[in-house]
Structure 1
Amino acid sequence: MPLTSRRLRAALLAAASATLVAATLPAPQPLGIGDPLFPYLGNPGYDVLTYDLAFTYSGDNTKPLDAVTKIDALATQPLDRVNLDFTHGEVRSAEINGAEARFVTVGEDLVLTPRKPVKSGTRLRITVNHTSDPGGRGGGWLRTSDGLAMANQADAAHRVFPGNDHPADKAYYTFRVTAPEQLTVVANGLPEGKTRRGPNTTWTYRTHHPMATELAQISIGTSAVVHRQGPRGLPVRDVVPAADREKLEPRLRKTPEQLRWMEEQVGPYPFETYGVLVAGADTGFELETQTLSLFERSLFTRPEYPDWYVESVMVHELAHQWFGNSVSPHRWSDLWLNEGHATWYEARYAEEQTASATSAPAGRSLEERMRSAYTRSDGWRAAGGPPAAPEPPTAGAQISLFRPVVYDGSALILYALRQEIGADAFQRVERAWVSEHRDATATTADFVSLASRTAGRDLTGFLTPWLYGEKTPPMPGHPDWRSEAPAPRHGAPRPLPKPE
């Protein structure tokens, strides 16, 4: 229908108005939510409710994937522009609330300008057509021997898709991945079906609980998916290279019992499914991606690793499903709550396993491990800061945030707390923590408050030096323990370091 003169004037006026508004706005700039360890991570002004991520994989893991990211969010303040964390991909077009939006990349932010300013309290529907590049370093897509997986911690999810890349903004996810029909795709959550079209198949998965961007996972490869049952009928599915299915089974079949053991410690498993993803890649780490923990193949196949060690590392990642995934850090300085707890349950499980072992060298008891950590604690604090106030990561090497002080150095705080308030009160703290903050984020101050309420007395004075002190406080019940400050020692205290 041709434009009438009135409609033409209205259209020209709207275009001129949009141009004038754009001219009066300040230059686009990268924003952040104020995390002192990652100043430009996350974005203010909106709360993401859902992500709908679509990727098309050609079968060549050196080539960028075509992708469409759809975000449903709630504006928490008036927005003339919307910043998304995104880098390492080409943006082809963008829309906000169904209308085309201008876009520009500044630093590692994708800055969108809507046709009309967005009012506080209104829904914000964003669509970005882009590519997702598996090349380069720094996390994000992980190339495997037969395809791709993801390793997004701590700040690499925005190398894969645009979003609000900070654990403070958790959301629900839908994944739609199209790949050649001979490949298998698995992602966080439960499958919602697959559709065959020509030589390709589209697989759909959906999470039933909110998730931080750093915990997103997609596996594409010549994989076997092994199904079994966990406690109370929980669906457990492991994703392994098809050629290794039988070889890896002795390790993988331990997962249901490990789930039962963790539930005995802290209560019901918090998600809709769990499983192990074994990647044909040399990563040097394992990663607790939500409902589908990532492990490198060599952990399960190298003969020098005893059973108790491998299984305790599996429990470390499993424990993260409660500590770090269900209860996520509100700021990255709260990371000790993730890693200290995962290390704590790893050490306790190893102690129980080795106590019942009748052959092969046994690992250390929990007390021996904590005493060793106490000896090194002052050195770890000097090298990387105290557990709850870590030094920022080395520029260009964000993985350096994951230092010994956030592993055994943080588990030491939990040991000290148990020594101070007793084993029964400590267990009540642990169970209440994962129950009260399920599917949410929490801070160090929240933990101190909960511990105090549970113990029936204010523990701020006791815990503050453990959390923030330059020196390690005296250990309750062990007045003879001493900590030294040797030359800084980098790398995790166990033989297979992991970056989370």
Structure 2
Amino acid sequence: MLRNIRPRIPRPPTRRIRAALLASAVSVCLIAASAPSPATPLGIGDRLFPHLGNPGYDVQSYDLAFTYPGANDKPLAAVTTIDALTFSRLERINLDYAHGKVQSVEVNGQRAAFTSAGPDLVVTPAKPLPLGSRMHVVVHHTSDPVTAEDQDGGWVRTKDGLAMANQADAAHLVFPCNDHPSDKAMFTFHVTAPDGYTAVANGLPAGADRSSRSTTWTYRTLHPMATELAQVSIGRSSVLHRSGPHGLPVRDVVPTKDAKKLEPWLKKTPDQIAWMEGKVGRYPFETYGLLMAEAQTGFELETQTLSLFEKELFTEPAYPKWYVESIMVHELSHQWFGDSVSPRAWSDLWLNEGHATWYEALYAEEKAHKPMEERMRAAYRASDSWRDAGGPPAAPKEPAPGQKISIFRPSVYDGAALVLYALRQKIGRSAFELLERTWVSAHRDDVASTDDFVALATAVAGRDLSGFFQAWLYDKKTPPMPGHEDWKSDPPKARKGA
């Protein structure tokens, strides 16, 4: 996600993830086995969002069916089907789901009891699920758009329909799920909309069934995806097709009336993909494209294979051409950093946004002669203030109450890109570029942590970098910049209430 940018295959979890989930699940199940207890919200203990994600199971796939009523302020009828593997004996199944009405739940073909507990839908199957068993859950529910005043993610109302913005951990405002990026899964979407509307989702099209008054579109991903990256667009849209490197299918979703006006921007994507491939290797997914929505979001979003953009970014003449193109590359680079390689925990967010900001700045340097060093020096001057306000890059402060997206602070954008700049200064350009390519290759379609990045960087550099990373990622003050020891950071300004 890029906030305030303008003036204005399913693979099993890694052994480490399985161990962490199992340890959490065992403690829950020991309590459940001793005596019945009231339904409570659980969580996997993420430092920033402790009640999101759920222990005891690993989702393999989601099948989501939405029926759009023709008005973006009305609930959508929805059916969510989840296939998962249990890590422990489960007497209850906690799903993240907090906005909509549940009509019924089935577990392995049998009706199940359910109730709400905080942000969780707590399901009690007819009989407990043993460790290592398959779990097939079907939830009939509504999927409710929220008002602009209450917007904290989920469905975004556009001028002509809806789109999704599920970061951070807001997919459970749209459908029941294990809403944490550490549990990636395959997705299938079925979206029914009245005549005159077009629906598009992550992945590749898998058919369109037309009736007398509506059409149901089906899309499937070919790679696992985090819930926060799910995307469904419903609108009076056109889908424009072109080819990218190696014959990669590129498809863009734009308001039909604006297709011709937006084409000069859209045709830039194949060359941008080729540029990124030259930096970090082959594009990691089955397709890519831009979703240009008529909505006021204040951000762009790297939803997997179909990045969400405000149309205004491309139509407002005040934004320089080089700037718009660098923002396009920011979201594109997330397909490698954040989407293909997803964060193990939300504290690892700097790995997503720092890298996206890095390639945004590198593109501007190479294509528009905007020196990286100047941007990094400016970031260094502000970095102590950013750390004071939002925490160091790998230990961001908790979000403000009711404002999940407040974790997207400068410290994890330019502040984190500054860490990468310091690392390149420390280990040299060749080793840094090898590290980048190795990182996205070694963790493709998986999740990875800050510790994983530190370990890989140490291996590639052939020397101990633990002290370097400890200072740059976790200290309250910004360390000296290698090769630029004369750079100074301005002292933080006193904050109100401090």
- Please tell me whether the aligned partners of residues 382 and 485 of structure 1 are also in contact (alpha carbons under 8 angstroms): no
- Please tell me whether the aligned partners of residues 379 and 488 of structure 1 are also in contact (alpha carbons under 8 angstroms): no
Describe how 1:92-491 pairs up with structure 2 within 5 A: 92-136=103-147, 137-355=151-369, 364-487=370-493
| Separation (CA, whole Å) in 1 of partners of 2:101 and 2:455 | 46
The equivalent of 1:4 in structure 2 is none
**Does 2:63 match 1:52?**
yes
Q: Select the residue among 93, 99, 103 that pairs with 1:88.
A: 99
Residue 489 to residue 181, structure 1, CA distance change in 2 (3 Å) = farther
Give, in angstroms, the shift of residue 418 of structure 1: 0.2
RMSD of equivalent CA atoms: 1.3
- Please tell me whether the aligned partners of residues 155 and 214 of structure 1 are also in contact (alpha carbons under 8 angstroms): yes
Deviations 1:214-245 (A, max 9, x none): 00000000101110000000000000000000
The equivalent of 2:21 in structure 1 is none
**Does 2:39 match 1:28?**
yes
| Separation (CA, whole Å) in 1 of partners of 2:109 and 2:211 | 28
Deviations 1:258-303 (A, max 9, x none): 0000000000000000000000001110000000000001100000
| Separation (CA, whole Å) in 2 of partners of 1:274 and 1:159 | 25
Q: Select the residue among 76, 79, 90 that pairs with 1:79.
A: 90
- Please tell me whether the aligned partners of residues 380 and 489 of structure 1 are also in contact (alpha carbons under 8 angstroms): no
- Please tell me whether the aligned partners of residues 379 and 489 of structure 1 are also in contact (alpha carbons under 8 angstroms): no
Deviations 1:390-431 (A, max 9, x none): 100001011110000000000000000000000000000000
- Please tell me whether the aligned partners of residues 181 and 196 of structure 1 are also in contact (alpha carbons under 8 angstroms): no
- Paired amino acid for 2:413: Y
- Please tell me whether the aligned partners of residues 308 and 354 of structure 1 are also in contact (alpha carbons under 8 angstroms): yes
Give, in angstroms, the shift of residue 198 of structure 1: 2.2
- Please tell me whether the aligned partners of residues 86 and 132 of structure 2 are also in contact (alpha carbons under 8 angstroms): yes
Deviations 1:108-128 (A, max 9, x none): 100000010000100000000
Residue 170 to residue 284, structure 1, CA distance change in 2 (3 Å) = same
TM score, norm. by length of structure 1? 0.91
| Separation (CA, whole Å) in 1 of partners of 2:474 and 2:382 | 16
Deviations 1:166-219 (A, max 9, x none): 000000000000101211110000000000122011000000000000000000
SS of corresponding position for 1:41: coil
- Paired amino acid for 2:172: H
- Paired amino acid for 1:79: L
| Separation (CA, whole Å) in 2 of partners of 1:330 and 1:110 | 23
- Paired amino acid for 2:429: A
SS of corresponding position for 2:43: coil
SS of corresponding position for 2:301: coil
- Please tell me whether the aligned partners of residues 88 and 132 of structure 1 are also in contact (alpha carbons under 8 angstroms): yes
| Separation (CA, whole Å) in 2 of partners of 1:481 and 1:472 | 11
Q: Say which is worse superposed, 478-487 or 399-408, in terms of deviation.
A: 478-487
- Please tell me whether the aligned partners of residues 388 and 492 of structure 2 are also in contact (alpha carbons under 8 angstroms): no
SS of corresponding position for 2:74: coil
Give, in angstroms, the shift of residue 485 of structure 1: 2.3
| Separation (CA, whole Å) in 2 of partners of 1:98 and 1:377 | 55
- Paired amino acid for 1:394: A
| Separation (CA, whole Å) in 2 of partners of 1:487 and 1:27 | 47
| Separation (CA, whole Å) in 2 of partners of 1:264 and 1:485 | 39
| Separation (CA, whole Å) in 2 of partners of 1:443 and 1:477 | 28
Give, in angstroms, the shift of residue 486 of structure 1: 3.0
Give, in angstroms, the shift of residue 488 of structure 1: 6.8
Give, in angstroms, the shift of residue 382 of structure 1: 0.5
Give, in angstroms, the shift of residue 23 of structure 1: 12
Residue 488 to residue 250, structure 1, CA distance change in 2 (3 Å) = farther
- Paired amino acid for 2:268: K
Describe how 1:7-26 pairs up with structure 2 within 5 A: 24-26=35-37
SS of corresponding position for 1:176: strand
| Separation (CA, whole Å) in 1 of partners of 2:471 and 2:35 | 50
- Please tell me whether the aligned partners of residues 324 and 338 of structure 1 are also in contact (alpha carbons under 8 angstroms): yes
- Please tell me whether the aligned partners of residues 187 and 220 of structure 2 are also in contact (alpha carbons under 8 angstroms): yes
Residue 489 to residue 373, structure 1, CA distance change in 2 (3 Å) = farther
| Separation (CA, whole Å) in 2 of partners of 1:442 and 1:487 | 35
| Separation (CA, whole Å) in 1 of partners of 2:225 and 2:186 | 6
- Paired amino acid for 1:440: D
| Separation (CA, whole Å) in 2 of partners of 1:371 and 1:23 | 59
SS of corresponding position for 1:131: strand
- Please tell me whether the aligned partners of residues 222 and 285 of structure 2 are also in contact (alpha carbons under 8 angstroms): yes
- Paired amino acid for 1:327: V
Flag structure 2 segments of 5+ consecutive residues without an equivalent: 1-31
| Separation (CA, whole Å) in 1 of partners of 2:474 and 2:480 | 14
| Separation (CA, whole Å) in 1 of partners of 2:119 and 2:249 | 38
- Please tell me whether the aligned partners of residues 48 and 73 of structure 1 are also in contact (alpha carbons under 8 angstroms): yes
Q: Select the residue among 67, 79, 84 that pairs with 1:68.
A: 79
- Paired amino acid for 2:349: L
- Please tell me whether the aligned partners of residues 327 and 437 of structure 1 are also in contact (alpha carbons under 8 angstroms): yes
- Please tell me whether the aligned partners of residues 63 and 188 of structure 2 are also in contact (alpha carbons under 8 angstroms): yes
| Separation (CA, whole Å) in 2 of partners of 1:131 and 1:37 | 28
- Please tell me whether the aligned partners of residues 103 and 113 of structure 1 are also in contact (alpha carbons under 8 angstroms): yes
SS of corresponding position for 1:321: coil
TM score, norm. by length of structure 2? 0.91
Aligned residues: 462
SS of corresponding position for 1:94: strand
Identity of aligned residues (%): 67
